[in-house]
Amino acid sequence: MKIIQVVGARPNFMKVAPLHRAFSKYAGVQSLIVHTGQHSDPNMSTVFLEQLDLPKPDFYLGVSGQSYDQLIAEIQRESEKILRAEKPDLVIVVGDVNSTLAGARAASAVNIKLAHVEAGLRSFDNSMQEEYNRIAVDHISDFLFTTEMEANANLQKEGIADSKMHFAGNCMIDSLIHYLPKADLQTIREELKLQHKNYALMTMHRPSNVDTKQGLQNILSLCESVTDKVHVVFPVHPRTRNKMIEFDFWNKLHAISNITLTEPLGYLGFLSLLKQASLVLTDSGGVQEETTYLNIPCLTFRKSTERPVTISKGSNVLMNEFDMDQTLAYIMQILNGNWKKSEIPELWDGRAAERIAQIIMNTTI
């Protein structure tokens, strides 16, 4: 059996790594990787492939830095060429980034079976491009592997057949569990002179937060307010950095005391900082999951989340606006040890990829 997995952006790599390992255990399975190049920055791409022990991609499309429609169209066109030449039995796409949608469309156009890993997640916020991507991919997929039962319920409401759905667990957590020992060996906390459980880790990159002057002002105000209570470590996403410079906020961010700004971090370095943080401020989807597993208090600055289990069972709280009074009240609760205890969701046990591989191998494609 020949399987092609499509990756393009940072979150994809953590989900594909355990899948690639799982398929490699089966004799007669050829697992190939197509890297679209959606994230071309070495800190967002190459270092992740190396740290996750992924092989050099079999195909690299080098597609990046275009408008949404142009990006989707070019990735789909170039992916179709590969699929027609390689004739795989199955295409796997993961998550909800633009490369996910383009790879899925390519498989559909060439009439190759398609599996979507992390299917059924819904934010119910149609202003998010990722929401459109998720829905579109789910409705053309033959296998839908879900991370939580809420996702199955979403798919059922949309009329997708139960026979296509498989509750398998979370491949992002597979990677977290697998690489925690390596993350524990990282020295980044010492290099940044950080004390154990004595800092907040922050990530901000969503267009809704960083693409406008008001959004950036909100982030700046958040940093100014939070640093009065706790040291903040902020690895700055390239998109965020570029927008900060464009709107003349970059020097103001640097001028804030009690904050450490870094370049984007590799997976192991980020995981090391995450594990030792006292709290997390984020707009990321994956970080909500990681903090839930690690039982680290998480404040998510978005109107909605497609990962409700991180709130119902996890350590996450949704901040639907940049309310500084509420944020500081929550932070004081956290620092005083009064935060809710996280429960690890069902099947977040490090074996999701094994279950996915087994289901696929036991199915006639």
Using the predicted structure, report yes or no on whether residue 51 has a pLDDT greater than 90: no
* Type of residue at 225: S
How high is the pLDDT of residue 43?
A: 53
> How large is the average pLDDT for residues 131-136?
98
67-101 pLDDT, tens digit each:
889 999 999 999 999 999 999 999 999 999 999 99
How high is the pLDDT of residue 39?
A: 60
Using the predicted structure, report yes or no on whether residue 148 has a pLDDT greater than 90: yes
> How large is the average pLDDT for residues 130-141?
98
d(CA 278, CA 291): 11
Using the predicted structure, report yes or no on whether residue 44 has a pLDDT greater than 90: no
Decide: residue 43, CB within 10 A, 0-12 exposed, 13-18 middle, 19+ buried: middle
Q: What residues are labeled active site? A: 205
How high is the pLDDT of residue 49?
A: 74
Please report which confidence band the pLDDT of residue 149 belongs to, taking 50, 70 and 90 as the band edges.
very high
How high is the pLDDT of residue 41?
A: 58
Angle between helices 213-226 and 324-335 (to 10 degrees): 40
- Portion of the chain with pLDDT greater than 90, in percent: 88
- Portion of the chain with pLDDT greater than 70, in percent: 97
Using the predicted structure, report yes or no on whether residue 141 has a pLDDT greater than 90: yes
Decide: residue 195, CB within 10 A, 0-12 exposed, 13-18 middle, 19+ buried: exposed
- Mean per-residue pLDDT of the chain: 94
323-358 pLDDT, tens digit each:
999 999 999 999 999 999 899 999 999 999 999 999
CA Rg value for the chain: 20
The structure tokens listed for 149 are: 């039962």
User: What is the number of other CB atoms lying within 10 angstroms of the CB of residue 137?
Assistant: 26
How high is the pLDDT of residue 40?
A: 57
Q: Write down all domains in the chain, each with its CATH number in brackets.
A: 2-170+348-361 (3.40.50.2000), 180-335 (3.40.50.2000)
